[in-house]
Structure 1
Amino acid sequence: MSGDFLRDSGVQTFGTRLRRLLERLNGNVTDLYRDRLGFEQRWFALGMLLFKRGPLDVGTAAGMLGQSHVAITQVANAMENAALLERRPDDEDRRRKVLVLTSTGKTTLERVEAISLRVEAAAQALIDEAAPEFIQMIDALDDALERRDFASRIADAFDGSLIDDVDTGSAP
Protein backbone atom coordinates (compact mmCIF):
# COMPACT_ATOMS: atom_id res chain seq x y z
CA MET A 1 0.00 0.00 0.00
CA SER A 2 1.39 3.35 -1.07
CA GLY A 3 -0.93 5.54 0.99
CA ASP A 4 -2.40 6.83 -2.28
CA PHE A 5 -5.93 5.43 -2.39
CA LEU A 6 -6.38 6.05 -6.10
CA ARG A 7 -3.10 4.39 -7.02
CA ASP A 8 -3.78 1.47 -4.69
CA SER A 9 -7.24 0.98 -6.25
CA GLY A 10 -5.83 0.19 -9.68
CA VAL A 11 -8.16 0.12 -12.68
CA GLN A 12 -11.21 0.71 -10.48
CA THR A 13 -10.24 4.39 -10.21
CA PHE A 14 -8.84 4.68 -13.75
CA GLY A 15 -10.99 7.65 -14.78
CA THR A 16 -10.37 9.49 -11.53
CA ARG A 17 -6.63 8.98 -11.84
CA LEU A 18 -6.69 10.33 -15.38
CA ARG A 19 -8.60 13.41 -14.18
CA ARG A 20 -6.07 13.90 -11.37
CA LEU A 21 -3.18 13.59 -13.83
CA LEU A 22 -4.82 16.12 -16.14
CA GLU A 23 -5.40 18.50 -13.23
CA ARG A 24 -1.72 18.24 -12.29
CA LEU A 25 -0.66 18.96 -15.85
CA ASN A 26 -3.30 21.48 -16.90
CA GLY A 27 -3.40 23.42 -13.64
CA ASN A 28 0.09 24.77 -14.16
CA VAL A 29 -0.50 25.48 -17.85
CA THR A 30 -3.83 27.15 -17.09
CA ASP A 31 -2.12 29.48 -14.61
CA LEU A 32 0.62 30.27 -17.13
CA TYR A 33 -1.78 31.19 -19.95
CA ARG A 34 -4.13 33.08 -17.64
CA ASP A 35 -1.39 35.03 -15.85
CA ARG A 36 0.63 35.90 -18.96
CA LEU A 37 -2.08 36.35 -21.58
CA GLY A 38 -5.51 36.42 -19.97
CA PHE A 39 -6.15 33.28 -22.04
CA GLU A 40 -8.02 30.25 -20.75
CA GLN A 41 -6.54 26.78 -21.27
CA ARG A 42 -9.95 25.43 -22.29
CA TRP A 43 -9.82 27.75 -25.33
CA PHE A 44 -6.53 26.27 -26.55
CA ALA A 45 -7.76 23.55 -28.92
CA LEU A 46 -10.33 25.70 -30.73
CA GLY A 47 -8.06 28.73 -30.75
CA MET A 48 -5.11 26.84 -32.22
CA LEU A 49 -7.36 25.10 -34.75
CA LEU A 50 -8.64 28.46 -36.03
CA PHE A 51 -5.13 29.94 -35.88
CA LYS A 52 -3.67 27.14 -37.99
CA ARG A 53 -6.62 26.30 -40.29
CA GLY A 54 -8.50 29.57 -40.57
CA PRO A 55 -12.26 30.17 -40.30
CA LEU A 56 -14.46 27.13 -39.65
CA ASP A 57 -18.08 26.51 -38.80
CA VAL A 58 -18.85 25.04 -35.38
CA GLY A 59 -19.76 21.60 -36.74
CA THR A 60 -16.52 21.24 -38.68
CA ALA A 61 -14.47 22.43 -35.69
CA ALA A 62 -16.30 19.98 -33.41
CA GLY A 63 -15.55 17.12 -35.80
CA MET A 64 -11.90 18.03 -36.15
CA LEU A 65 -11.50 18.26 -32.36
CA GLY A 66 -13.62 15.24 -31.51
CA GLN A 67 -15.82 17.34 -29.25
CA SER A 68 -19.54 18.00 -29.15
CA HIS A 69 -21.19 20.87 -31.00
CA VAL A 70 -22.38 22.19 -27.63
CA ALA A 71 -18.86 22.16 -26.14
CA ILE A 72 -17.42 24.04 -29.11
CA THR A 73 -20.28 26.57 -29.00
CA GLN A 74 -19.59 27.21 -25.30
CA VAL A 75 -15.89 27.77 -25.92
CA ALA A 76 -16.63 29.96 -28.96
CA ASN A 77 -19.04 32.06 -26.88
CA ALA A 78 -16.40 32.58 -24.19
CA MET A 79 -13.75 33.46 -26.77
CA GLU A 80 -16.18 35.84 -28.47
CA ASN A 81 -16.86 37.53 -25.12
CA ALA A 82 -13.08 37.92 -24.71
CA ALA A 83 -12.93 39.56 -28.19
CA LEU A 84 -10.73 36.73 -29.56
CA LEU A 85 -13.14 35.54 -32.24
CA GLU A 86 -16.26 36.58 -34.05
CA ARG A 87 -18.93 34.87 -36.08
CA ARG A 88 -19.25 35.88 -39.70
CA PRO A 89 -21.46 34.68 -42.55
CA ASP A 90 -19.84 31.91 -44.59
CA ASP A 91 -18.75 33.13 -48.04
CA GLU A 92 -20.28 30.03 -49.69
CA ASP A 93 -23.50 29.84 -47.68
CA ARG A 94 -24.54 33.17 -46.14
CA ARG A 95 -27.04 31.40 -43.85
CA ARG A 96 -24.19 29.60 -42.10
CA LYS A 97 -21.79 31.28 -39.67
CA VAL A 98 -18.07 30.63 -39.38
CA LEU A 99 -15.77 31.28 -36.45
CA VAL A 100 -13.03 33.77 -37.30
CA LEU A 101 -10.20 34.98 -35.08
CA THR A 102 -10.17 38.73 -34.55
CA SER A 103 -6.89 40.66 -34.85
CA THR A 104 -6.65 40.48 -31.04
CA GLY A 105 -7.30 36.75 -31.27
CA LYS A 106 -4.55 36.27 -33.85
CA THR A 107 -2.05 38.23 -31.76
CA THR A 108 -3.02 36.31 -28.63
CA LEU A 109 -2.78 32.94 -30.39
CA GLU A 110 0.68 33.84 -31.71
CA ARG A 111 1.74 34.35 -28.10
CA VAL A 112 -0.08 31.19 -26.99
CA GLU A 113 1.77 29.22 -29.65
CA ALA A 114 5.14 30.58 -28.49
CA ILE A 115 4.34 29.52 -24.92
CA SER A 116 2.88 26.20 -26.03
CA LEU A 117 6.12 25.25 -27.78
CA ARG A 118 7.88 25.50 -24.43
CA VAL A 119 5.06 23.63 -22.70
CA GLU A 120 5.38 20.94 -25.39
CA ALA A 121 9.12 20.64 -24.71
CA ALA A 122 8.43 20.20 -20.98
CA ALA A 123 5.73 17.61 -21.72
CA GLN A 124 8.03 15.72 -24.07
CA ALA A 125 10.77 15.69 -21.43
CA LEU A 126 8.28 14.31 -18.88
CA ILE A 127 7.12 11.62 -21.31
CA ASP A 128 10.69 10.72 -22.26
CA GLU A 129 11.58 10.37 -18.58
CA ALA A 130 8.55 8.49 -17.33
CA ALA A 131 6.68 6.79 -20.17
CA PRO A 132 8.20 6.98 -23.67
CA GLU A 133 5.31 4.99 -25.21
CA PHE A 134 2.58 7.06 -23.52
CA ILE A 135 1.31 8.88 -26.63
CA GLN A 136 1.10 5.61 -28.57
CA MET A 137 -0.82 4.10 -25.64
CA ILE A 138 -3.30 6.99 -25.67
CA ASP A 139 -3.68 6.53 -29.43
CA ALA A 140 -4.33 2.80 -28.91
CA LEU A 141 -7.02 3.54 -26.29
CA ASP A 142 -8.60 6.14 -28.60
CA ASP A 143 -8.59 3.65 -31.48
CA ALA A 144 -10.15 0.92 -29.33
CA LEU A 145 -12.90 3.30 -28.19
CA GLU A 146 -13.53 4.29 -31.82
CA ARG A 147 -14.03 0.63 -32.65
CA ARG A 148 -16.30 0.07 -29.65
CA ASP A 149 -17.41 2.66 -27.11
CA PHE A 150 -16.95 2.29 -23.38
CA ALA A 151 -20.70 2.05 -22.70
CA SER A 152 -20.82 -1.16 -24.76
CA ARG A 153 -17.86 -2.52 -22.86
CA ILE A 154 -19.54 -1.73 -19.54
CA ALA A 155 -22.73 -3.42 -20.74
CA ASP A 156 -20.69 -6.55 -21.46
CA ALA A 157 -19.36 -6.47 -17.90
CA PHE A 158 -22.97 -6.62 -16.66
CA ASP A 159 -23.45 -9.72 -18.84
CA GLY A 160 -27.05 -8.86 -19.65
CA SER A 161 -28.09 -8.20 -16.06
CA LEU A 162 -29.51 -4.91 -14.88
CA ILE A 163 -27.54 -2.76 -12.48
CA ASP A 164 -30.17 -3.41 -9.78
CA ASP A 165 -29.60 -7.15 -10.19
CA VAL A 166 -25.86 -7.02 -9.54
CA ASP A 167 -24.83 -9.03 -6.49
CA THR A 168 -22.90 -6.61 -4.29
CA GLY A 169 -21.49 -9.47 -2.25
CA SER A 170 -18.93 -10.57 -4.83
CA ALA A 171 -16.78 -9.00 -7.48
CA PRO A 172 -16.99 -10.18 -11.11
Structure 2
Amino acid sequence: MSDRAPGPELLGTRLRHLLELLDGDVAALYADLGLPGFRPRYTPVIRVLARTGPASIRDLAAATGVTHSAASQTVAQLTRDQLVTLAPGADARQRIVHLTERAESLLPVLDAEWSATTAAAARFEAELSYPLSRLVDEALDALRRRPMRQRIADVAPQLTAHHPDRDRAPD
Protein backbone atom coordinates (compact mmCIF):
# COMPACT_ATOMS: atom_id res chain seq x y z
CA MET A 1 0.00 0.00 0.00
CA SER A 2 1.32 3.40 -0.97
CA ASP A 3 1.64 6.37 1.38
CA ARG A 4 0.75 8.60 -1.55
CA ALA A 5 -2.61 10.40 -1.43
CA PRO A 6 -5.10 9.28 -4.10
CA GLY A 7 -4.79 11.20 -7.34
CA PRO A 8 -7.12 11.88 -10.23
CA GLU A 9 -7.72 8.17 -10.78
CA LEU A 10 -10.05 8.18 -7.76
CA LEU A 11 -11.59 11.59 -8.45
CA GLY A 12 -15.16 10.31 -8.92
CA THR A 13 -14.98 8.19 -5.78
CA ARG A 14 -13.59 11.05 -3.72
CA LEU A 15 -16.17 13.53 -5.08
CA ARG A 16 -19.01 11.12 -4.19
CA HIS A 17 -17.56 10.82 -0.67
CA LEU A 18 -17.38 14.62 -0.36
CA LEU A 19 -21.00 14.92 -1.50
CA GLU A 20 -22.04 12.20 0.97
CA LEU A 21 -20.39 14.15 3.79
CA LEU A 22 -21.98 17.46 2.77
CA ASP A 23 -25.47 16.11 2.02
CA GLY A 24 -25.41 13.67 4.92
CA ASP A 25 -24.90 16.42 7.46
CA VAL A 26 -27.57 18.64 5.90
CA ALA A 27 -29.99 15.68 5.88
CA ALA A 28 -29.16 15.09 9.57
CA LEU A 29 -29.97 18.74 10.24
CA TYR A 30 -33.35 18.30 8.55
CA ALA A 31 -34.02 15.32 10.84
CA ASP A 32 -33.03 17.48 13.84
CA LEU A 33 -35.57 20.05 12.59
CA GLY A 34 -38.33 17.43 12.60
CA LEU A 35 -38.12 16.64 8.88
CA PRO A 36 -36.82 13.06 8.73
CA GLY A 37 -36.48 11.83 5.15
CA PHE A 38 -36.34 15.37 3.76
CA ARG A 39 -33.56 15.43 1.18
CA PRO A 40 -31.13 18.29 0.62
CA ARG A 41 -31.90 18.19 -3.12
CA TYR A 42 -35.52 19.20 -2.36
CA THR A 43 -34.76 22.64 -0.98
CA PRO A 44 -33.54 24.37 -4.17
CA VAL A 45 -36.63 23.18 -6.08
CA ILE A 46 -39.02 24.23 -3.32
CA ARG A 47 -37.31 27.62 -3.03
CA VAL A 48 -37.56 28.22 -6.79
CA LEU A 49 -41.26 27.33 -6.78
CA ALA A 50 -41.87 29.56 -3.75
CA ARG A 51 -40.13 32.45 -5.51
CA THR A 52 -41.48 32.03 -9.05
CA GLY A 53 -44.71 30.08 -8.63
CA PRO A 54 -45.56 26.95 -10.62
CA ALA A 55 -42.92 25.96 -13.16
CA SER A 56 -42.12 23.30 -15.72
CA ILE A 57 -39.53 20.66 -14.94
CA ARG A 58 -37.33 22.14 -17.67
CA ASP A 59 -37.48 25.56 -16.00
CA LEU A 60 -36.72 24.01 -12.61
CA ALA A 61 -33.71 22.22 -14.08
CA ALA A 62 -32.38 25.48 -15.50
CA ALA A 63 -33.04 27.43 -12.29
CA THR A 64 -31.32 24.84 -10.08
CA GLY A 65 -28.42 24.05 -12.42
CA VAL A 66 -29.15 20.36 -12.93
CA THR A 67 -30.12 18.20 -15.90
CA HIS A 68 -33.74 17.74 -16.91
CA SER A 69 -33.44 14.10 -15.84
CA ALA A 70 -32.16 15.03 -12.36
CA ALA A 71 -34.91 17.64 -11.93
CA SER A 72 -37.52 15.11 -13.06
CA GLN A 73 -36.26 12.56 -10.53
CA THR A 74 -36.34 15.14 -7.74
CA VAL A 75 -39.88 16.20 -8.70
CA ALA A 76 -40.96 12.54 -8.65
CA GLN A 77 -39.56 12.19 -5.11
CA LEU A 78 -41.18 15.47 -4.04
CA THR A 79 -44.49 14.20 -5.44
CA ARG A 80 -44.19 10.93 -3.50
CA ASP A 81 -43.49 12.96 -0.34
CA GLN A 82 -46.55 15.12 -1.06
CA LEU A 83 -44.56 18.33 -1.34
CA VAL A 84 -45.51 19.10 -4.95
CA THR A 85 -48.24 18.22 -7.40
CA LEU A 86 -48.08 18.00 -11.18
CA ALA A 87 -50.53 19.46 -13.66
CA PRO A 88 -50.52 19.34 -17.47
CA GLY A 89 -48.92 22.29 -19.21
CA ALA A 90 -49.87 24.01 -22.46
CA ASP A 91 -47.97 21.30 -24.34
CA ALA A 92 -49.14 17.72 -23.69
CA ARG A 93 -45.54 16.70 -22.94
CA GLN A 94 -45.02 19.46 -20.39
CA ARG A 95 -45.84 19.06 -16.71
CA ILE A 96 -46.15 22.03 -14.39
CA VAL A 97 -44.97 21.62 -10.80
CA HIS A 98 -46.93 23.25 -7.96
CA LEU A 99 -46.07 23.44 -4.26
CA THR A 100 -48.51 21.77 -1.88
CA GLU A 101 -49.75 23.43 1.28
CA ARG A 102 -47.47 21.07 3.19
CA ALA A 103 -44.41 22.40 1.32
CA GLU A 104 -45.53 25.99 1.79
CA SER A 105 -45.82 25.39 5.54
CA LEU A 106 -42.15 24.34 5.59
CA LEU A 107 -40.86 27.52 3.93
CA PRO A 108 -39.95 29.41 7.15
CA VAL A 109 -37.84 26.47 8.38
CA LEU A 110 -36.30 25.90 4.94
CA ASP A 111 -35.47 29.59 4.54
CA ALA A 112 -33.73 29.63 7.93
CA GLU A 113 -31.84 26.43 7.10
CA TRP A 114 -30.85 27.82 3.68
CA SER A 115 -29.44 30.99 5.23
CA ALA A 116 -27.52 29.04 7.86
CA THR A 117 -26.20 26.53 5.32
CA THR A 118 -25.12 29.32 2.97
CA ALA A 119 -23.19 31.04 5.78
CA ALA A 120 -21.65 27.73 6.89
CA ALA A 121 -20.63 26.92 3.29
CA ALA A 122 -18.92 30.31 2.99
CA ARG A 123 -16.97 29.63 6.20
CA PHE A 124 -16.09 26.14 4.95
CA GLU A 125 -14.77 27.57 1.66
CA ALA A 126 -12.73 30.15 3.59
CA GLU A 127 -10.76 27.24 5.10
CA LEU A 128 -9.81 25.94 1.66
CA SER A 129 -6.92 27.11 -0.50
CA TYR A 130 -9.37 27.70 -3.38
CA PRO A 131 -13.17 28.14 -3.21
CA LEU A 132 -14.79 24.77 -3.90
CA SER A 133 -17.82 26.36 -5.57
CA ARG A 134 -15.56 28.14 -8.05
CA LEU A 135 -13.62 24.95 -8.75
CA VAL A 136 -16.86 23.01 -9.32
CA ASP A 137 -18.05 25.69 -11.76
CA GLU A 138 -14.74 25.50 -13.63
CA ALA A 139 -14.89 21.70 -13.75
CA LEU A 140 -18.46 21.73 -15.08
CA ASP A 141 -17.52 24.27 -17.74
CA ALA A 142 -14.50 22.19 -18.79
CA LEU A 143 -16.64 19.05 -19.09
CA ARG A 144 -19.25 20.92 -21.12
CA ARG A 145 -16.51 21.95 -23.52
CA ARG A 146 -15.02 18.45 -23.70
CA PRO A 147 -16.81 15.56 -21.99
CA MET A 148 -14.83 13.01 -19.98
CA ARG A 149 -15.62 10.27 -22.51
CA GLN A 150 -13.84 12.30 -25.19
CA ARG A 151 -10.93 12.98 -22.86
CA ILE A 152 -10.56 9.23 -22.28
CA ALA A 153 -10.75 8.60 -26.05
CA ASP A 154 -7.97 11.15 -26.52
CA VAL A 155 -5.58 9.13 -24.37
CA ALA A 156 -6.87 5.62 -25.20
CA PRO A 157 -8.69 5.60 -28.54
CA GLN A 158 -8.81 1.80 -28.54
CA LEU A 159 -11.25 1.91 -25.61
CA THR A 160 -13.84 3.86 -27.59
CA ALA A 161 -13.21 2.48 -31.07
CA HIS A 162 -15.97 0.64 -32.89
CA HIS A 163 -16.61 -2.66 -31.14
CA PRO A 164 -18.37 -5.26 -33.35
CA ASP A 165 -20.24 -6.97 -30.51
CA ARG A 166 -21.56 -3.70 -29.14
CA ASP A 167 -23.18 -2.66 -32.41
CA ARG A 168 -24.58 -6.06 -33.31
CA ALA A 169 -28.35 -6.50 -33.22
CA PRO A 170 -29.63 -8.84 -30.48
CA ASP A 171 -30.37 -12.44 -31.50
Establish whether TM, by shorter chain, passes 0.5: yes
% identity of equivalent residues: 32
Q: Does 1:29 align with 2:26?
A: yes
Structure 2 match to 1:20: 17
Structure 2 match to 1:151: 149
On the 8 A contact 1:43/1:79 being kept in 2, the answer is yes
State the secondary structure of the residue aligned to 1:162.
helix
Unaligned stretches of 5+ in structure 1? 165-172
How many residues are paired up? 158
Mapping of residues 1-172 of structure 1, within 5 Å: 8-36=5-33, 37-38=35-36, 39-90=38-89, 93=90, 95=92, 96-158=94-156, 160-162=157-159
State the secondary structure of the residue aligned to 2:127.
helix
TM value normalised by structure 1: 0.78
Unaligned stretches of 5+ in structure 2? 162-171
How large is the RMSD of aligned CA atoms in angstroms?
A: 2.5
Tell me the alpha carbon deviations over residues 77-106 of structure 1, each in whole angstroms, 9 at most, x when there is no partner.
Answer: 22122221111244xx27443101112212
Judged with a 3 Å threshold, the aligned counterparts in structure 2 of structure 1 residues 154 and 17 are, in CA distance, closer, same or farther, namely same
Runs ≥4 residues deviating over 4 A? none
Tell me the alpha carbon deviations over residues 127-167 of structure 1, each in whole angstroms, 9 at most, x when there is no partner.
Answer: 11223433222221111112111111111121x22379xxx
TM value normalised by structure 2: 0.78
Judged with a 3 Å threshold, the aligned counterparts in structure 2 of structure 1 residues 128 and 2 are, in CA distance, closer, same or farther, namely farther
On the 8 A contact 1:34/1:40 being kept in 2, the answer is no
Judged with a 3 Å threshold, the aligned counterparts in structure 2 of structure 1 residues 109 and 2 are, in CA distance, closer, same or farther, namely farther
